[in-house]
Amino acid sequence: MKQKVFLISLGCAKNLVDSENMLGILQEAGYSVVPDVEDADVAIVNTCGFIQKAVEETIDTILGLAQYKRDGTLERLLVAGCFVQRYGYKLRGEIPEVDGWLGTGEFQRIPEILEEVARGSSPFFIGRPTYLADHTVPRTLTTPTYTAYLKIAEGCSHTCSYCTIPGLRGPLRSRTMHSLVTEVEKMAEAGVKEINLVAQDTSVYGMDLGKGMQLEDLLESLVPVKGIEWIRILYSHPLRISDRLLGLIEAEEKLCPYLDVPLQHVNGEILRRMGRAFEAEGPEQLIERIRSRPRPISIRTTLMVGFPGETDARYQELYDFVKWAEFDHLGVFVYSPESGTPAARFKEEVEPETAQKRQDAIMGLQAGIAEKKNQQIIGRTVPVLVEGLSPETDLLLKGRTATMAPEVDGQVLINRGQGEMGAIQPVKITEAHTYDLVGEIV
């Protein structure tokens, strides 16, 4: 009888898709998946290694599972993903409790590594990432039945000076349109209603296929799939937000009026040092162009403070921009110098305490903006994807609007009416808080 496997997925939604593929491959190979490590023979950690904070979380998770091995309740421990790809073979000597290692381009070999471990060896599968999973690779969805992520491409060919992703994930590799449409059709048949498109950069989809294919072409092919009601685009580079893309979002009801556009900064010199300099159109013009459309499009962005060379004046430019732009959703991160990146060698470092104060100030500013925007929704009736009972209390349901991405944005708490999990239902908004809304089903 094959062993029972427990898997923890750390990091981003793109990593989660890899984890779901691993689970599907294992189940097809005869292994059973269990929800609790106490019931498992083998534990797998699919790791994040993007920034130092993620590395620390990864190490803590591995060591926590290693305790189960020492206690005798777990037979084997495997580690996969970005952490392995980043630190390579030296991990074998530093964390001897781990029985086998898989890089980012090797997760399809998970049954093979388990077989080698069972024979008593300590395998290390790592190489230059070139693998690209498609619709033929088994996948076990771990998201709720009504929602799923669709990874449309792997890797990244950008040269942002602070980023380790090209080294961890390899160059851009887009999936074929046929593969993606086929997978979405299968999801729809299984009851999925919401698709969230993910990649390191969704806006460059198709550039490597050599056929003039673009993200807009893919969207036009996904919209007709019956059963899918919401399609949301995540992680789009600001330089490639085309008028055609905006026109599609405006014209197609299924396309969520939502764009996730990581700006990182707005000061020209900082953007140049980051390797993300704007060309003809600046950040202000981009926001104005998105907002000029008749159908309001919700904008989410991420910003980085404390990047080398961020003077008080350059930071103030960023702060003033956030105040002007009034983003619907915003995340701010403190720069983390990552070994092996060009930015790690930059001078003019910003003190960590200063960077933290800058992060706190912008997030405080954004809290007021977000609450003001939410207050403007009171009295309106909006479509909400009902997600079930709120984890805070069984007296409330929770859900999301089309302008709220799973995990990263706010939620709608429903305190009246009959809701059906996985259904998109009209909800009248009666209260607004900083990030969450409250309403009743009508």
Give the CATH number for residue 208. Answer: 3.80.30.20
pLDDT at site 395: 73
- pLDDT value for 340: 86
Q: What residues does 302 pair with on adjacent strands?
A: 331
Q: What is the pLDDT of residue 203?
A: 95
- Using the 3D structure, point to which of 375, 404, 426 is the last residue of a domain: 375
Write the CB contacts of 441 (distance below 8 Å, at least 6 apart in sequence): 414, 416, 417, 418, 419, 425, 426, 427
- Beta strands 424-432; 381-389: pairing state: antiparallel
User: Are 82 and 162 found together in one domain?
Assistant: no
Residue 436 to residues 76, 106, 301, 331: CA-CA distances in angstroms?
42, 40, 18, 16
Query: What is the maximal distance between C-alpha atoms in the chain?
Result: 65
142 part of a folded domain = no
CA atoms of 61 and 219, how far apart (whole Å): 37
Residue 141 lies in a domain: no
Claim to verify: residue 97 and residue 120 sit in the same structural domain: yes
Residue 133 lies in a domain: no
Same domain, 364 and 388: no
- Domain assignment present for residue 138? The answer is no
Q: What is the reported pLDDT for 1?
A: 57
Residue burial 5-17, b: 16+ Cβ < 10 Å; e: rest: bbbbbbbbbbbbb
| Full domain range(s) for residue 287 | 147-375
d(CA 298, CA 325): 12
- 308 in a structural domain: yes
> Which tokens sit at 393?
């209390």
Residues 6 or more apart whose CB falls under 8 angstroms from that of 326 comprise 369, 372, 373
Rounded Cα distance, 345 and 366, in Å: 31
> What pLDDT does 169 receive?
92
Same domain membership, residue 155 and residue 102: no
Q: Which of 325, 357, 375 is the last residue of a domain?
A: 375
169 and 239 part of one domain? yes
State the pLDDT at residue 178: 96
Q: Is residue 134 part of a domain?
A: no
Q: What is the pLDDT of residue 67?
A: 85
Judge if 295 and 400 occupy the same domain: no
Shared domain for 90 and 166, answered yes or no, is no
97 lies in the same domain as 203: no
135 within a domain of the structure (yes/no): no
pTM over 0.75: yes
Whether residue 78 contacts residue 42, with contact meaning beta carbons closer than 8 Å, is answered with yes
- The last residue of a domain, from among 322, 350, 375: 375
The answer as to whether 154 is a domain residue is yes
Q: Are residues 72 and 193 in the same domain?
A: no
CATH number at residue 59: 3.40.50.12160
Residues 198 and 306 in one domain: yes
CB 51 within 8 A of CB 132: no
Per the structure, how many domains does the chain have? 3
Give the pLDDT confidence of 318-358 residue by residue, as tens digits: 999 999 999 999 999 999 998 889 999 998 999 999 999 99
Residue ranges of the chain whose pLDDT lies below 70: 1
Are 233 and 278 contained in the same domain?
Answer: yes
Residue 410 belongs to domain with CATH number? 2.40.50.140
Does 208 lie in the same domain as 96? no
